[in-house]
Structure 1
Amino acid sequence: MKRPILLHPDPRLKKTCAPLDDISDEVRVLAADMLETMYAAPGVGLAAPQVGVLSRLIVVDCVKSEEDGPARPIAMVNPEVLQASDETNVYEEGCLSIPDHFADVTRPKVVKVGWLDLDGTPREEEFDGLWATCIQHEIDHLEGKLFLDYLRPLKRQMITRKMQKLKREKAREAS
């Protein structure tokens, strides 16, 4: 089931999320809903707080087209960066909670990530390039951090004001 995506500014997007102690059927349904929501948006990553659930769960799939190979959806419970390279990459990042706004963000180029899969099995993998950027971006959401937090204050304020205006317009349309 597709879920509504929270738009910045929303206080839930600035909260630190609690670890998941139990991977229940409810968590598996949430992960499936998040993947459906992410693909429909369309996006390459989504964190649980973006759909209003303050739990440490993210979904990612950075395969953008069939030429890149088959889709590779990954759900990560309690993900954490275990190692990060000194070498960095700059990607123009966007966010489903901040539609139509993009900015260059510098992050480690390669990260080793540990997480639990939806069966509760511990996983570890090294990610590079867009995958590394996307996973770091989503893990930031679990810490209440947005890509805007990497920007200069003036640019951050400008985007926040535009988002407040967009939310007011959407609220008027809905009423």
Structure 2
Amino acid sequence: MIREILVYPDKRLRLKSKDVTAFDAQLHTLLDDMYETMIAKEGIGLAAIQIGIAKNILIINLVDEEGMQQKEDLIEVINPKITHKEGEEVYQEGCLSVPGYYDDVKRAEKIKVEYYNRFGEKIVQELDGLLAIAMQHEMDHLLGHLFIEKLSYLKRKKFEKEWKKKIKVDK
């Protein structure tokens, strides 16, 4: 089922998510709905809070060399923790909760992350490139943060001004 994505400045996007304790059919349905929603909205990542559910759940599905998203490449991440960060990289990010806006964000180049899959199995991965960027972006959502908060003061002011104009036009 495709769910509605919360859009900035919706206050629910500021909620801090809670850990998942039950790896059950309800969780599996939520993960499946998140995948359908992300694909329908042409995203590469989605945190549960973006559909109004304050749980430490996110999914990432990057595109392959042909520009396609393959379901077998889907990463389902539950209760993630970054245990190591290294380097620095600037990448132009966008967000389904801030549609149509993209800007450069500085993040760790490489990360080591621990999380659980849908069956409660622990996974430890070392990530770099876009996958590391996407993981950090989605994990920020779980803490109630959006990528626009990482912009410089001047860029943030410019964004707020443009966003207010966009909201008026869309109404």
Range with bigger deviation, 89-98 or 56-65: 56-65
**Aligned residue in 2 for 1:48:** 48
8 A contact 2:13–2:145 mirrored in 1: yes
* Identity among equivalent pairs (%): 35
After superposition, the Cα gap between the structure-2 partners of 1:121 and 1:67, relative to the gap in structure 1 and judged at 3 Å, is: same
1:1-175 alignment, distance < 5 Å: 1-66=1-66, 70-71=70-71, 72-85=73-86, 87-167=87-167, 170=170, 172=171
* TM-score of the pair, normalised by structure 2: 0.91
* TM-score of the pair, normalised by structure 1: 0.89
The whole-number CA distance in structure 1 between the counterparts of 2:166 and 2:23 is 36
Letter of the 2:81 counterpart: E
The whole-number CA distance in structure 1 between the counterparts of 2:63 and 2:120 is 24
**Which stretches of structure 1, 4 residues or more, deviate above 4 A after TM superposition?**
67-71, 164-170
Q: Deviations over 1:108-164 (max 9, x none)?
A: 111111101000000111111000000000000000111011112332233234444
8 A contact 2:108–2:133 mirrored in 1: yes
Cα offset, 1:67, TM superposition: 6.1
Cα offset, 1:70, TM superposition: 4.5
1:124 is paired with a residue whose SS is strand
After superposition, the Cα gap between the structure-2 partners of 1:161 and 1:4, relative to the gap in structure 1 and judged at 3 Å, is: farther
After superposition, the Cα gap between the structure-2 partners of 1:37 and 1:65, relative to the gap in structure 1 and judged at 3 Å, is: farther
Q: How many residues align?
A: 170
Letter of the 2:79 counterpart: N
**RMSD, aligned CA:** 1.9
After superposition, the Cα gap between the structure-2 partners of 1:70 and 1:53, relative to the gap in structure 1 and judged at 3 Å, is: closer
8 A contact 1:9–1:160 mirrored in 2: no
1:125 is paired with a residue whose SS is strand
Structure 1: state its 5+ residue gaps.
none
Structure 2: state its 5+ residue gaps.
none
